[in-house]
Amino acid sequence: MDKTLKRMATMQRMQVTGLELFYKKGYYNTSVDDILKELSLSKGAFYYHFDSKEDFFIQIIENLLVRKMYSMLIEPIEGHENTLDSITNCFEDALETAVHNELDFGFVLSNFVNEFNGKNEKIMKHLNDILRIWEANLVSAVQRGKFNGFIDRHVDSEGMAVFLMSSYMGIRTLMVETAPSARKYRFMSQLRQYFKSIEPKGENSLNPNAVFGNVN
């Protein structure tokens, strides 16, 4: 365990800058040497730790991408009763990091889905796993929102999850070049508009979660 410390540290360094470059320039347009140059390491070091470029990337997905997706787009929604509010805040934060050109992992994911679709089935499997997890968590968040009286009982939870993921991934694509800050603002305002049509109508509109408490 202790002796593997150095190993782990090097692998971690490689993966972090690997993800950074893969994100910036794309997987196929980033050579292993590009990453190694950034770290002043050699081919020997790389292939000592990883089997192949593909294996390297899959480990990046498992070790970095999955965790960051959780901390940025799943956990911020998981804990709270008022689903619509927490989704709004979560998207707001994620898009704000995007405006500052920092790594926005929801977009990293969408980028890679686009790059590998139809080209590398093995990697697509891993990416689709993450999408499924994201979707499942959104679905249960919507259901919790219904239960807690913040979302109309008649809305389709699956549909809402798909719609949220779609619009999020889409706005990130649109933010890459033209007026990211303005587009973020407009997007968020329309998202709130959409949420208005989702709120419970009529008698049961007061939230009963003081009675039932949180679900799960």
Partner DNA sequence: ACTTAAACCGACCGGCCAGTCTGTTCTCAT
Partner DNA sequence: ATGAGAACAGACTGGCCGGTCGGTTTAAGT
Q: Which residues bind DNA (CB under 7 A)?
A: 3-4, 6-7, 10, 30-34, 40-45, 47-49, 52-54
Decide which of a copy of itself, DNA, none touches 168; Cβ closer than 5 to 8 Å per partner kind: a copy of itself
Question: What is the x/- site pattern for a copy of itself, positions 176-195, by CB under 8 A?
Answer: xxx----x--xx-xxx-xx-
Alpha-carbon distance of 169 to 71, in angstroms, equals 17
Q: How far are the Cα atoms of 99, 151, 167 from residue 174, in angstroms, in the given order?
A: 12, 29, 10
Closer to a copy of itself by CB, 51 or 156: give it. Answer: 156
* Measured distance CA(73)–CA(76) in Å, rounded: 6
- Residue 30 interacts, among a copy of itself, DNA, none and using kind-specific CB cut-offs from 5 to 8 Å, with DNA
Of 11 and 53, CB closest to a copy of itself = 53
Which tokens go with 83? 């689903």
Nearer to a copy of itself, 36 or 198 (CB): 198
Q: Please state the closest distance from residue 177 (CB atom) to a copy of itself, in A.
A: 6
With CB cut-offs between 5 and 8 Å by kind, which of DNA, a copy of itself, none does residue 75 bind? Answer: none
x/- map, 8-37, a copy of itself, by CB under 8 A: ----------------xxx-xx--------
Give the whole-angstrom CA distance, residue 119 versus residue 156: 33
Amino acid, res. 160: M
What does the angle CA 88 – CA 89 – CA 94 come to, to the nearest 5 degrees?
Answer: 100
Distance of alpha carbon 40 from alpha carbon 122, whole angstroms: 30
User: Are the C-beta atoms of residues 144 and 85 closer than 8 Å to each other?
Assistant: no
Counting Cβ atoms within 10 Å, is residue 177 exposed (0-12), middle (13-18) or buried (19+)?
exposed
Residues forming contacts to a copy of itself in the complex (CB under 8 A) are 24-26, 28-29, 110-111, 113-115, 117-119, 124, 128, 131-132, 155-156, 158-160, 162-163, 165-171, 173-174, 176-178, 183, 186-187, 189-191, 193-194, 196-198
